[in-house]
Amino acid sequence: MRTLATQVKLRRLIRAFGEAQVRLLSEPIDRRIVGSTVDRLLELAGDLRESWRRENALRPLEAPLERYVKESLRTVELAVAGLRQAGADLELLASDFESAALPLEVFLRGLDAEPALQRSA
């Protein structure tokens, strides 16, 4: 499994982001809660980036595919960081997060299926 650790960390971040979004939308916004929530999400995003760095170092992707992953990770991190801003549009940030994270999850799964696909081609 080429990207298993990265996939696990990405799923954990997706789940945590969804839970945070529900909490932030359903409760009156307390800046301390927002700050600690964003700090935790950024920590998870950092773990995700580090996991990807380690796994990609073992079998590097071609430059365009590596750029896709890096841009997706950057978008995820920016969406998380945006939650901290006063007056942030939580729905827009969630949309940005999902638009980057969900396709990335499918892409990473595809990297693990790649050898099987090559054998059948």
Decide if 3 contacts 57 (C-beta within 8 A). Answer: no
> What is the reported pLDDT for 114?
61
What's 51's domain CATH number? 1.20.120
pTM, 2 dp: 0.89
Q: Structure tokens of 119?
A: 């054998």
> Quick one: CA dihedral 88, 68, 10, 49, positive or negative?
negative
- pLDDT digit string (tens) for 4-57? 999 999 999 999 999 999 988 887 777 778 899 999 999 999 999 999 999 999
CA atoms of 45 and 16, how far apart (whole Å): 10
Q: Which domain holds residue 59?
A: 4-120
Which residue in this structure is represented by tokens 């990770």?
73
Amino acid letter at 113?
A
Amino acid letter at 78?
L
Task: Count how many domains the chain has.
Answer: 1
